[in-house]
Structure 1
Amino acid sequence: MDTTRQTNDQDLVRTLVAQIFDRVMAVQHLQQPIDLTSSPFKEPALKKRKKGMEGEEKASWSAFVVPCEIHEFKQDLNAVDRGKKKDAVKKVIAAMTVGKDVSSLFPDVVNCMQTEDMELKKLVYLYLINYAKTQPDLAIMAVNTFVKDSQDPNPLIRALAVRTMGCIRVDRITEYLCDPLQKCLKDEDPYVRKTAAVCVAKLHDINPEMVEDRGFLDTLRNLIGDANPMVVANAVAALSEIQDVSGRPVFALDQASLTKLLRALNECTEWGQVFILDAVSAYEPADAAEAETIIERVLPRLQHANAAVVLSAVKVVLKNVARLEDPASAAAVGKKLAPPLVTLLGAEPEIQYVALRCINLVVQRAPEVLSHEVRVFFCKYNDPIYVKVEKLEIMVRLANENNVDQVLLEFKEYATEVDVDFVRRSVRAIGRCAVAIEAAAERCVNVLLDLIKTRVNYVVQEAVVVIKDIFRRYPNRYESVISTLCDCLDGLDEPEARASMVWIVGEYAERIDNADELLEQFLESFPEEPAMVQLQLVTAAVKLFLKKPTERPQALIQLVLTYATQETDNPDLRDRAYIYWRLLSTDPEAAKDVVLAERPVITDAKENLDPAVLDELLGELGALSSVYHRPSGTFVTKTRMAVQRAEDLEKARVAAAASVAAGADAGSVGLSSTLEQQSQHGDGESAHSAGSSAAATPQAAATVPAAAPVPDLLGDLLDLDMGVPAAPAAAPVAAGGVVDLLGDLNLGTTTTATAAPVAPAPASSTTTTSRFLPVLVDATKGKGLVIRGTVTRTSPTSSIIYQMEFENVSAGVTLDGFMIQFNKNIFGLAPSNQAIPVAPIAPGATCAVAVPITQNPSLVAPPTTGGNAAPATLQVAIKSNQLGVLYLADTINAAVVLSGSGKIDSTAFVSGWKAIPEDQEVQQELQNVMITDKEAATRKLESKNVFVMAHKVVGEEQVLYCTGKLEIPGAPVQALLELRFSTSGGSSGVRAYYRSTRQDLAQVVLAVVGAALC
């Protein structure tokens, strides 16, 4: 009895030790944790151990993945036993799958290819696909076997061989792929043909020229008429892929091809149907009859269970229904679109979201399709938030006078939920319905008042913002709710709500008895308020003063303007306060006309896409672009970007720096020699310059406009608190500070200002100096001469000038005989005359001059290549009789060459955008952008001759499509821009996308845009 027990205990110990050893080996190879509480201590495991280690080792290779070393693999791969060889390949594939490097076994695995075992052949092919790139020379060893397998009697092996050869992306193997692929494309078995069709697309991705030269595209087009629908679908998929990547019309459908595709549509698999429907959607029907035929053949696909097939069918129907001439037929087709779209809302939430995003596009184009189905978009309690938000948006679009009551009831119910973001969107949706549907405005206002009575803080604040929009849409109609809003004033703590409330108080100040008291409450925290609230407070205070010109509003506006001009760092706020201040001081009646002017009524708040963009997105219905609501070209590139190593980038940077330095040196020598040749007559030239300076002085002075007789309201704003005396201008209206400026305001009188006498300029100055010009050469480098200047225009339509200023800080040396010369630059800028018309500059004197600039084709620098940005540097040489030649480098602002004729229509913009390859697009995040409002941005951009062509709203982004024309002699450049203004997360930013025929000019153009928006 004891002996038997002892034997059992020994067996148990051996079993446990063996099990733990095997698991340690597994951890060593797989880096998996040991679980000592699992199978080693369970009864089934112990019984299994007693059956012997040999049988278990054969059955458990997959559990332990790599139970032996590489040399053991090699021995098993070269074994005679077929079963042992197959197990070895399985172990190699398992090791490869978990990331082990088994590439050293490449020759041994390749030797296993020549077998009739389909399972073993698939495993070897899988290994080859993975390691052929790292072992291209050894991969050639498998070519003969591939060619042999492509002629095997078994169609599965033939297809497997062609598929594998297409997946091995090695150029030397693709050369051997062509002949087997040609045969397989004409194989008698449809399975081989459909596999070969896809392989053509893979081969085109590796070597496009070979595909065209060997006639594979023609063979694919012939397969469209194949008797097997799967072959047709794969041929269509391959041709579509090749067309998308190449950008050329390699797959142009005609009537005969269309008939073949529609015939094969019913018998394809679901994904084959998607490919065919996408191809049919690109076909332009010849007439209404053909469009009706296409619709009839596609309508049955609307009942398909696959959502992708349904959306592709909807895409085809929407495109062709617009070609129908009979309105009744079009209406009948539209009714058939509603049920399949509604059915998609019963799927999983993820599919619902995609369907809702696509339905949003459909509703923008044809709202009548789902106008009677608004109830299906009501939110369920268990819908994810992303589905609820999309349903909310579609309900707003579908709301009309007939269904607005039930929609408002839904929105009111949503406004009582716990999700704060969804509640805010629901309240805002009520306001959007009020703005869009005038007949329902009063009902919307009543619903908002009911929500305000709930006293839920975030509901009340969102309602205040919404009611402000309703007041803009329907002025002087719903003022009765103002008292209710004023009662909620203390609970407003969000910037947008506070700014809206301030706007309401200022807009209806004459109807609110205690408007001044309400504004004083906001003024108590004026320095801590956000910028949007401060701006509204300044404007509201001015409105209050103009509507109630009494003592208390006068004291209030003095306090507001003092805060805004002396205790803030916000330039926008400070400038607005200065403008109001000068406007009130000079002409209160004009202030009334400006501040209290009747504003345009806001329109429907629905965020519809631009029609051209909507057409493009409807053509991609069911694709990712239709979910993003962005054209695919804005976020997908069909070309592969080359991977650059760090050392390559460093070499390129060093080479570029050396090239720029060499160019600068060569330019300096060239400029020097040119100027020396111009002045080779020595003293005679200087005497001529000195003698003509008197005549040149009036000409230079004439470039500065004379003072206007009317008072200049903004003339000295830039000089306030600068510590630099301004040029003599209009006499001040009053003296004595802030209180004096407004102390004697009289709404019935108009103050006038008289021009002060202008002091005579020094003899050494030709025009008024400006210390705001950037310093180009300091006194040390200039040998006692300070040079300031910039290339500019006085207006968008005026000529280009080089505004320069010379300051002589030398001791006892009068400077004269100035000349100027430019080196080659990207815009071909050149001085009209090399002699600078300035009088001799005495020590301590300063002289400013405007040098006229022209554009010379011979001075246009060649475009940069390799994706490098064109240098926006202007190399200048300045020569004087006393100092010789001085060299300087200035930066060219591209705004000076942007033409006023650069505006194009939207059609030309879209075609031009598509004509530029996507790999030439330049993207950049614009920094320090202050202007994010569409109207303000449009004004600022167009002041720089950057014209806004179209506008759309995508989610929380405002998108502007802009264009500008760079006037370059002999080769003008049309720049196309997409500006995306994002205000998500409380922060603002602008993402710019640039396309043109000159990729190297992207940075100089984007610099203009960035400066305009700052």
Structure 2
Amino acid sequence: MNVHQYGTNFRWGQVFILDALSKYKTADAREAENIVERVTPRLQHANCAVVLSAVKMILLQMELITSTDVVRNLCKKMAPPLVTLLSAEPEIQYVALRNINLIVQKRPTILAHEIKVFFCKYNDPIYVKMEKLEIMIKLASDRNIDQVLLEFKEYATEVDVDFVRKAVRAIGRCAIKLERAAERCISVLLELIKIKVNYVVQEAIIVIKDIFRRYPNTYESIIATLCESLDTLDEPEAKASMIWIIGEYAERIDNADELLESFLESFPEETPQVQLQLLTATVKLFLKKPTEGPQQMIQVVLNNATVETDNPDLRDRAYIYWRLLSTDPEAAKDVVLAEKPVISDDSNLLEPSLLDELLANIATLSSVYHKPPEAFVTRVKTIQRTEEEEYPDGSEGGNSESPAHAASVGATSPASASNAYSAGRKPAAAPAPPAPVPDLLDLMGLDNNNSDIVSADQPASPAGPPLPVLLPASTGQGLQISAQLIRKDGQIYYSMLFENNTQFPLDGFMIQFNKNTFGLAAGGPLQVPILQPGTSASTLLPMVLFQNVSPGPPSTVLQIAVKNNQQPVWYFSDKISLLAFLSEDGRMERSTFLETWKSLPDSNEISKDFPAIVLNSVEATLDKLAASNMFFIAKRKNSNQEVLYLSAKIPRGIPFLIELTAAIGIPGLKCAVKTPSPEIAVLFFEAIEPFLSS
């Protein structure tokens, strides 16, 4: 056994010993203190699994220790090793954060003074950011709320929409949790509303509705500000929240009937959530202001909600209101205008019994997924089987794992669960290995031997055409940004040009990409020097794939945010060209091309006509296509038309079989694509049209 094997076995031996010891029932507080005293040195271990097992053991024994001084000292000793886990790679951070999330619900004092370590870094993966945000909410207190709100406000200007929404909602949750800080939280929300970013405004309205429910008759003076954003609301939850506010405070809003009437115009097309709120808000308005306007509105709403709908929930509620209003309006007031129960802080959602069970299983899948161990066991009955019964397909069982082994701390990674657009590929085909992620140490300039990294003062593409301007100087207050995705030496880069037309230097440039079809993300920090007035700088930013894949149909939109130390965050969009993703190994043998074409169903063939494209030369066209990794397979004549067959390959080894049909020198080209991922064909067509037209 070599030294490495010995060290690995020794570490896992400690983990198993600590896990076994955690199941031992100590007799009294004295014995618990003795055990903890011997386990505490394991907190300093270099291996994260040993540290988490030691934390689990100490937490379990602390339940029996009666001395407050001992408990206080143990809490102080556990903080540094837990903080150290957050300096590891993102996957380990994620596992640590999921466990810390449980620990702070049981013992918040352990990390009460360490909230700064949970502040999000701009290059943290989104799954790490989300977990840090959740823990910051749990650790927020009257003592640190100002720091926390400053962080949340900055997060609300990030480019990732999901993260922004979570940050805005976090501000509202802090207001609900901390009564003395509620006014400061509302001030931050109002500042965010004023920036007029649609999804920020809508999320702010949602959380303000909850704040009104938590502190009734306290902050209603801001309703007028909220009403200014009515026209921008297009999300069901935001609409429903605004409608609830209007109905709940109809007597304080002079034009409440006009505001509700604007929503009623689209009542049949609204979602059930919005329709239910509109129905209730209109009834509230009628009960509070029984004038001619609300009377007409209530008749229209009740008619739409009973006669014109198929939704049973909406129809039943409308009939109840109708009968109440027609038989006993006072009873209707008692029901509809009854005092609402005050909502409470939802930071600690887990039941105490479940929380204790999860804490007893720290460093397993149970504590990562926040589910009890039995949720991972699908078969508990064990029976003797013959070899034929055990492996009916002839496969061997050498790779099987026991539930205990599968539940170990290293058994899961959030990155492995990222969804990709190629999910519909045939299971028989082995997936290609993921694209290598560039070394972040190299990207930060700590290794000057990396020839792929272009320094910021070098031109990104000296011989190429000028980059498209994405942020003109007129929009960027003097900062102009030009950029384009390119492919170089088998790697995708974002070629960028920064021009400073302001009167002052610009520095501290950072970049972030929103979720997109290919999960494109920066492979390292943006290397741009201090830009003096009147100067420019070019850079090649390495890109990685499948880091933040957006759901839904494929799209060429790439949303980008760039910030610097002197200006606000600039948001702009680019268009992804699929040509940058075509890999150098896309050439096929003719026989392989034919077999692949025949193996794919006809439904996987997508075609499109380009009436304006003219091919003047077969040879020149093939050379141009080959330069972008579309490789010639064969050609044939069809009457007076040339038919060209080419092969290409996009990430994860997905083949693209291409057929081009055109008459040389005559406008008109037909392009057909056959691929295991036909939904990507539309992106190919969007890229090939300008490419062949130029």
Aligned to 2:234: 493
Q: Distance in 1 between matches of 2:31 and 2:11?
A: 25
1:599 aligns with 2:340: yes
Contact kept? 1:364, 1:608, Cα under 8 Å? no
Contact kept? 1:436, 1:604, Cα under 8 Å? yes
Query: What pairs up with 1:789-800 in 2 under 5 angstroms?
Result: none
Aligned to 1:548: 289
Query: What pairs up with 1:667-816 in 2 under 5 angstroms?
Result: none
Contact kept? 2:102, 2:355, Cα under 8 Å? yes
Instruction: String of CA shifts for 1:546-583, please: whole Å, max 9, x gaps.
Output: 00011111111111101111111101101100100000
Q: Distance in 1 between matches of 2:354 and 2:220?
A: 40
Q: Equivalent residue of 2:237, what SS?
A: helix
Letter in 1 for 2:76: K
How far is 1:476 from its partner? 0.8
Aligned to 2:113: 372
Aligned to 1:462: 203
1:635 aligns with 2:369: no
How far is 1:637 from its partner? 3.8
Q: Residue 325 of structure 2 is aligned with which of 584, 603, 606?
A: 584
Query: What pairs up with 1:650-665 in 2 under 5 angstroms?
Result: none
Aligned to 2:366: 625
- 5+ residue gaps, structure 1: 1-155, 157-194, 196-229, 231-265, 649-984, 987-1014
Aligned to 1:444: 185
Query: What pairs up with 1:123-202 in 2 under 5 angstroms?
Result: none
Aligned to 1:276: 17
Aligned to 1:384: 125
Q: Distance in 2 between matches of 1:479 and 1:386?
A: 35
Q: Distance in 2 between matches of 1:565 and 1:595?
A: 18
Q: Distance in 2 between matches of 1:606 and 1:444?
A: 16
Instruction: String of CA shifts for 1:962-988, please: whole Å, max 9, x gaps.
Output: xxxxxxxxxxxxxxxxxxxxxxx99xx
Letter in 1 for 2:34: T
How far is 1:285 from its partner? 1.0
Aligned to 1:350: 91
How far is 1:624 from its partner? 0.8
Query: What pairs up with 1:762-911 in 2 under 5 angstroms?
Result: none
How far is 1:642 from its partner? 8.3
Contact kept? 1:344, 1:351, Cα under 8 Å? yes
Letter in 2 for 1:635: F
Query: What pairs up with 1:220-239 in 2 under 5 angstroms?
Result: none
Aligned to 1:363: 104
Q: Distance in 2 between matches of 1:640 and 1:415?
A: 50
Q: Equivalent residue of 1:569, what SS?
A: coil
Q: How many pairs does the alignment contain?
A: 388
Letter in 1 for 2:81: P
Structure 1 residues 293 and 268, CA gap change in structure 2 (3 angstroms):
farther
Q: Distance in 1 between matches of 2:385 and 2:270?
A: 49
Structure 1 residues 276 and 522, CA gap change in structure 2 (3 angstroms):
same
Q: Distance in 1 between matches of 2:238 and 2:281?
A: 15
Aligned to 1:613: 354
Q: Distance in 2 between matches of 1:642 and 1:348?
A: 42
Q: Equivalent residue of 1:630, what SS?
A: coil
Aligned to 2:586: none
Aligned to 1:506: 247
Aligned to 2:40: 299
Letter in 2 for 1:511: R
How far is 1:612 from its partner? 1.1
Q: Residue 306 of structure 2 is aligned with which of 565, 568, 578?
A: 565
Aligned to 2:435: none
Q: Sequence identity of aligned pairs in percent?
A: 70
Q: Distance in 1 between matches of 2:213 and 2:199?
A: 22
Normalising by structure 1, we get a TM-score of 0.37
Letter in 2 for 1:614: L
Aligned to 1:532: 273
Query: What pairs up with 1:76-91 in 2 under 5 angstroms?
Result: none
How far is 1:605 from its partner? 2.1
Normalising by structure 2, we get a TM-score of 0.54
- Which of structures 1 and 2 has the larger relative contact order (alpha carbons within 8 angstroms, sep 6+)? 2
How far is 1:325 from its partner? 1.3
Instruction: String of CA shifts for 1:920-960, please: whole Å, max 9, x gaps.
Output: xxxxxxxxxxxxxxxxxxxxxxxxxxxxxxxxxxxxxxxxx
How far is 1:636 from its partner? 2.3
Instruction: String of CA shifts for 1:292-328, please: whole Å, max 9, x gaps.
Output: 1111100000000100000000000001112111111
Aligned to 1:414: 155
Q: Distance in 2 between matches of 1:643 and 1:468?
A: 59
1:400 aligns with 2:156: no
How far is 1:480 from its partner? 1.1
Q: Distance in 2 between matches of 1:464 and 1:269?
A: 55
Aligned to 1:680: none
Instruction: String of CA shifts for 1:635-689, please: whole Å, max 9, x gaps.
Output: 22464788999xx9xxxxxxxxxxxxxxxxxxxxxxxxxxxxxxxxxxxxxxxxx
How far is 1:608 from its partner? 2.2
Q: Distance in 2 between matches of 1:510 and 1:636?
A: 56
Aligned to 2:214: 473
Letter in 2 for 1:426: A
Q: Distance in 2 between matches of 1:267 and 1:560?
A: 69
How far is 1:286 from its partner? 0.7
Structure 1 residues 623 and 395, CA gap change in structure 2 (3 angstroms):
same
Contact kept? 2:105, 2:348, Cα under 8 Å? no
Aligned to 1:885: none
- 5+ residue gaps, structure 2: 390-550, 553-694
| Structure label with greater radius of gyration | 1
Contact kept? 2:156, 2:167, Cα under 8 Å? yes
Contact kept? 2:192, 2:201, Cα under 8 Å? yes
Letter in 1 for 2:158: E
How far is 1:413 from its partner? 0.3
Q: Distance in 1 between matches of 2:201 and 2:373?
A: 40
How far is 1:461 from its partner? 0.2
1:327 aligns with 2:68: yes
Letter in 2 for 1:633: E
Query: Would you tell me which structure has more helix in proportion to its own residues?
Result: 1
Q: Distance in 2 between matches of 1:310 and 1:292?
A: 18
How far is 1:610 from its partner? 1.0
Contact kept? 1:303, 1:340, Cα under 8 Å? yes
Structure 1 residues 534 and 303, CA gap change in structure 2 (3 angstroms):
same
Aligned to 1:516: 257
Structure 1 residues 577 and 278, CA gap change in structure 2 (3 angstroms):
same
Instruction: String of CA shifts for 1:443-496, please: whole Å, max 9, x gaps.
Output: 000000000000000000000000000000001111111001100000000000
Q: Distance in 1 between matches of 2:36 and 2:371?
A: 27
Letter in 2 for 1:437: L
Q: Distance in 1 between matches of 2:66 and 2:246?
A: 54
How far is 1:607 from its partner? 4.0
Q: Distance in 1 between matches of 2:68 and 2:348?
A: 28
Q: Equivalent residue of 2:142, what SS?
A: coil
Q: Distance in 2 between matches of 1:400 and 1:286?
A: 37
Q: Distance in 2 between matches of 1:433 and 1:529?
A: 31
Q: CA-atom RMSD, angstroms?
A: 2.4
Q: Equivalent residue of 1:407, what SS?
A: helix
